[in-house]
Structure 1
Amino acid sequence: MSEDDDILRRRQLFEEFAQRYEQQQELLFFPKPNWTFPHPFVAWAALHDDREACWGPPARTLAELRMYALSWAIRSKVNWEDKINDKEIMEKWRAEAEKQQESLPRPEKLTRRMIDFVLEELPAYARLVDSETGIQAGPFDAIWFSDRLLSDDLVSALRTEALKLEDVPECLKDWHPRSNGQVLDLVHPSLYPVVYGRTHLRDSALVEAPGPDPKWEPARKPGESPAKGSFSHWISPDSAYYWLAKDSLSENHCWLPSDFSVAASGEVSLVSPYINNLHPRKHAGLYTIIQRVVGSFVPLFERVLSQVNGTDRDLLRHGQDDPAPGSGRIERRRIYAHMTGYPWKYIGTQVPCIWGEHAGEVRWPEEFENTEAMHDAINLLPEAQDVYNQVLERSIVPYSLRGKTIQCIIKLANIHLTPEKSEYPGGSWHVEGMLNERIVASGIYYYDEENISESRLAFRVTTTAPPYHQQNDELCAEIVYGMRRHSQPAQDLGSIVTSAGRALAWPNIYQHRVAPFHLLDNTRHGHRKIMAIFLVDPSLDPIPSATTIPPQQIEWVIYAMEEAHQDPLSHISKLPVELLHLICAELEDVEGSRYISRAMAEAIRLDLMDERKAFAHTREKEFRWSFDMCEH
């Protein structure tokens, strides 16, 4: 190849890269919906002209994920926050970490700077520990937990009151459909949900499915368009994202939250007259407990929202001088490109290319005799910053729920194992709800367990495409980010043990999965019991709730009528019992009735489950879309 041909080829490479970078920037800065918090169904969108943009969290280098794993391994130790003040222990941890690197391939090793950075960051994590509640950071950003969030008396009361929901005849126990008789629902939002076009508001109007101008969106003047970037605009036909929003919205069902008022002190009180599927008279004691538990979770949720508010508020900033948000642990470099006859062009701040050149030759595995030779050819690998740079503190922008009315969806469920069914196979990767519910964070309290092995909750997240350095450089992307051509950019974020007494909260943009567990003693029964709280996005207008929708359970109506029949001051007490029963029977058959029988509610639940199963399957692309490394 002549010198002129070589210059021409390099010029073409530069032009291709510069053009691709400009196209990426156009997508990265396409107006993102201006919601405060990231939602799993808004993290990915297809724009006009077959262009794609992703507002998911930025991809992390494998090196940074390994740094998180090392940090979490240390912070999982008992009294770690005290031990970090002991220089001898810290040196022991450093030596152990360095020893663990010896047998690893070069690209997988943590360098001395990385290990030092992790150790230097530990005091920052220690300062985040709340001595009163025990709240501290978990395995990854915005995951928080505590092993002493609830007092012993509150936990005891929760166990006692929840046991009353279990203490019913076997024929009345609500084993979750398709759970192999292992999951017992005590309170579940899929039973008696909002059914669009059937469920009534308190003024008897029907609840309509979300659409271009749903009745439960803020009122607008005639002819006025919704604010650009708002939820209403996002689901309106003139939005570039309409088709995705429409696919993410159920046209049939929505879980029904209850409204809770959060005082300045953090104390929580129920605003709604009831919690769906939990009778307020029969279970008044549990109502009091749930309010206290929700109140205890307020500081957990505030920490979750504060960290996603800081890390992901501007989700993509690869073209700025500072490192991409949430990636401040890894050293990045200002990247320039230059060709003869062209000015130097600034093309971003990125992790350096492993080959040491930004637009040089692509290297292929076939070029190398073996893996070791390939690793030896690497000129640059990701490296940690020289010193700790307050990246943890900068990832948090405080957000308070005090003084707000929040909407929470409550769930209580048990997993029961028997000698005949001694193992729980684990769950699937999922996020909670659909776009209708706008769930922004999830919280779980594990209030009881017996005779089961250790169980974990694992997390992963779909990220934006990593900022690869040149087209087709698959080796670089694989070594730096663990992603190959056409792979799905979902990165594992670690896992956490879910032992009894642990409270846990995380953002709903993270997918989660229950790991398998089994009986310790196969001759005895075992169980695990949880209370879950799904937080509706508090930065958006409220969705239909138990405040605006009366109970739909026909059994509750019958119970109220039977109570009234026992009250001598009630006119209903004067009715013959037989007539009372006839009235109750007729309620189920009235066309357009606001009440739903148990049999109908169970049928609706199956429809809801089928709809969401199909949704999860068809929208998997949004959670794990393909990383192509190529422009066409």
Structure 2
Amino acid sequence: MAGIIETPLDNKTTLKVPGLHDLPINVLLSHDQFATGVNDWYGHILTAKELAILDLINTITDRPDWHRAIFDQQVTAQWREDAVASSSLINDKTWDWCLQELQDKALQFDRDGRLVVFNTSSGVCKSDAVISSDLKSQLSNFVDLLSHEAIGQKPASAVVNLVDPSLFPLVYGRTKILGGGQSCGMDENSWSSRSKDKECLLVSERPQLAKEGSSWTWDSGPYIWSSKFQWLPCEVEFTGPPGSTDVRISSYINNLHPTNREMYSAIEVVISGSIKQWNEILVRNKWRKAINLFYGNCVSWPRAPIRIRTYGVEWKAQFPEWAKKLPDKEDEGKLSAEEYEAMCAQVEAYLQEPESRDKVYWDQVRTQRIPEDWKARWGLLRTALTKYGCTFVFEHSDPGTAYSYEDWKAGRTGKSIVGPAHFDYVCSPDYELSKSFEANPWLTPYEWMYKPREEDPDDHQFYTLALQDEFRDQGLQTVVQIHSIELDPETPSFPGEEWHTEGNANERIVANAIYALDSENMSEPQISFRQRCRLGGPYLGLRPNRR
């Protein structure tokens, strides 16, 4: 596939990167690239109970001295009581799983001073030990200087951008680049005279977009790419002995003057500390060969296995035997007056039975309001089927059902509670079985019991990363952004930013590091996280039209 780049993307040879020198900006990179959050990363679809587990673990690990208290039986007994009372999704079995995982995380936290939460396909690595008090003080002084220089700015919101990558980015058709691939260094001779350099080339007016059929990110579409601009990263070189994460910024940070050498040094320490955390959460892409109707493509290789693997739920409801004999509305005229009145009485009594809060949606069995004039509008059978849909309940699958916590830690997680549907059946359902469901619509919710199952997926394969070794010679590229939230009587509150991913797809950002430097006279700030999932899919026990 000609569009895929097989050579390293660096500044040591003639510059050949997406968007420059006739190379489309949305070309697929080589198969072993890291997944980005914008266009080529999909996580597992998680059950509501696993989401509750992740939320509970994150909440507890935010508490002071949690890594010691988690081994105190008296404390954990109170935490268990609070958790069960706060969520119907937390029961004894779920708490036992959380406790084991929290105790393992506490041991890791004691060793490394960091821990990973929300760890399913990717994760969030958090730590209070990466930035020393001296470095924090140093960074605070530098930010104060930048804020002083920004006096006079009055943004529409409370956010003051002190180092903004969107200010003076690479603009197609206007920005000049070093076509030979040289790095623009930190000394004055490297950057002050570059505008007259004979090797400076003007970037093309509009970058190319790869056409469908070539090696492009076809599932994303062009809307996530910018044909006008993209951020400029700084080059980061590894220094120190092998295995060290010490780094040196070797090209200027966009919109932070290279003469601010002390500030650059402080940012280098922040990047160095972030590398160990990136090693914990970066996700590799893995090439998947074409199968059935799917093209070959890159898929994300999760860092942690799913805790509760199921492709459906076991619904619980019983359609009355007498209701199976109810005729369709067009056939009700064939009943005698006595038969019709008797059936109406049965349906009316059925309508008085308790209902569930769970919502279901199958072809003829769905949760909806039954009209008062149901006899004239819907008839007997449709009314009974709708009431049937209002009685469905299911129990959330517990962790430890298909495999134990120890199995999960070892990656033995291929076994499912409810297995995946067979691909051939989903694409071409069995004719006789389909006709049977049409004749007996009350069986539709139990279709998963009748249709053939696909084999369970393979067990999980763990892997580790060490950017400081893998990119020792090549180095990294990072984008630095510094902003301040300034509140005053005119702007007394800040509602926060809308959820977003950093940059466009052009930048191919594979990880972020966020450090909240200081907070004074404010409520506790929060960060929300999302992960992209492929909803539906042929292997799930719920078709896309089922909610």
Give me the TM-score of the superposition, normalised by structure 2.
Answer: 0.60
* AA matched with 1:384: P
Residue 269 of structure 2: which of 285, 292, 296 is its match? Answer: 292
**Correspondences of 1:115-264 after superposition (within 5 Å):** 115-129=95-109, 131=111, 134-141=113-120, 142-168=123-149, 170-171=151-152, 173=153, 175-176=154-155, 179-180=156-157, 182-202=158-178, 203-208=199-204, 211=207, 238-239=214-215, 241=217, 244=220, 246-263=222-239, 264=243
Give the deviation of 1:457 after TM superposition.
Answer: 0.8
Aligned to 1:24: none
Alignment of 1:163-562 (within 5 A): 163-168=144-149, 170-171=151-152, 173=153, 175-176=154-155, 179-180=156-157, 182-202=158-178, 203-208=199-204, 211=207, 238-239=214-215, 241=217, 244=220, 246-263=222-239, 264-272=243-251, 274-281=252-259, 283-305=260-282, 308-309=283-284, 328-332=306-310, 350-355=311-316, 363-366=365-368, 377-378=392-393, 380-386=395-401, 387-389=404-406, 391=408, 394=411, 397-403=463-469, 404=471, 405-466=475-536, 468-471=540-543, 474=546, 484=547
Q: Is the CA contact (8 Å cut-off) linking 1:166 and 1:186 kept in structure 2?
A: yes
Shift of 1:33: 7.9
Asked if the contact 2:279/2:467 (under 8 Å) is kept, the reply is yes
TM-superposition CA deviations, 1:422-447 (whole Å, max 9, x none)? 01121112101112111111111111
Alignment: residue pair count: 375
Q: 1:20-57, CA deviations, whole angstroms, 9 ceiling, x for partnerless residues?
A: xxxxxxxxxxx9983532223324xxxxxxxxxxx521
What does the per-residue CA deviation read over 1:33-91, in whole Å, with 9 as the maximum and x for residues that have no partner?
Answer: 83532223324xxxxxxxxxxx5212111111111122222222222222222233333
Which residue of 2 is the match for residue 69 of structure 1? 55
Q: Give how far 1:135 is off.
A: 1.6
Question: What amino acid maps onto 1:41 in structure 2?
Answer: V
CA deviation vs aligned residue, 1:308-362 (integer Å, no higher than 9, x gap):
34xx75899999xxxx985632153xxxxxxxxxxxxxxxxx24342499x9986
Contact 1:259 1:270 in 2 (8 A): yes
Secondary structure of 2:35 counterpart: coil
Please tell me the residue identity of whatever aligns with 1:424.
Answer: F
Q: By percentage of residues, which structure has more strand? A: 1
Instruction: Call closer, same or farther: CA 1:316–1:116 in 2, change over 3 Å.
Output: farther
Q: Are 1:81 and 2:67 counterparts?
A: yes
1:483-518 Cα distance to aligned partner (Å, 9 max, x none):
x3xxxxxxxxxxxxxxxxxxxxxxxxxxxxxxxxxx
Give the aligned partner of residue 614 of structure 1.
none
Q: Give the residue type in structure 2 aligned to 1:207.
A: V
Whichever residue aligns with residue 111 of structure 1, its letter is N
Counterpart for residue 22 of structure 1: none
Cα distance in structure 1, aligned partners of 2:545 and 2:218: 35
In structure 2, the gaps of 5 or more residues are 1-27, 179-198, 293-301, 319-360, 371-382, 412-459
- Residues 135 and 316 (structure 1 numbering): CA distance in 2 closer, same or farther, change over 3 Å? farther
Maintained 8 Å contact 2:170/2:232: yes
**Aligned 8 A contact 1:259 1:406 in 2:** yes
Shift of 1:148: 2.4
- In the TM superposition, 1:29-68 aligns within 5 A as 34-43=31-40, 56-68=42-54
Structure 2 residue 73 is the aligned partner of structure 1 residue 96: no
Q: Structure 1 CA distance, aligned partners of 2:84 and 2:262? A: 54
* Aligned 8 A contact 1:38 1:440 in 2: yes
How far does the alpha carbon of each residue in 1:369-410 deviate from its partner, in whole angstroms, 9 at most, with x for none?
A: 9x9997864355322224313536757521111142010111
Amino acid at match of 1:382: S
SS of the residue corresponding to residue 518 of structure 2 reads strand
Q: Which letter does structure 1 place at the counterpart of 2:315?
A: I
The residue type paired with residue 201 of structure 2 is A
Quote the residue 1:501 is aligned against. none
Structure-2 change in CA distance of 1:35 and 1:61 (3 Å): same
> For the residues of structure 1 that align with 2:203 and 2:49, how far apart are their CA atoms?
50
Q: Return the alpha-carbon distance in structure 1 between the equivalents of residues 43 and 162 of structure 2.
A: 35
Match of 1:602 in 2: none
Structure (1 or 2) with the larger CA radius of gyration:
2
Cα shift at 1:163: 1.8
Corresponding residue number in structure 2 for 1:46: none
1:150 deviates by 1.0
Q: What code does the residue aligned with 2:274 have? A: F
Is residue 56–residue 315 contact of structure 1 (8 Å, CA) maintained in 2? Answer: no
Say whether the 8 Å CA contact 1:60–1:327 is kept in structure 2.
Answer: no
Q: CA RMSD in A?
A: 3.9
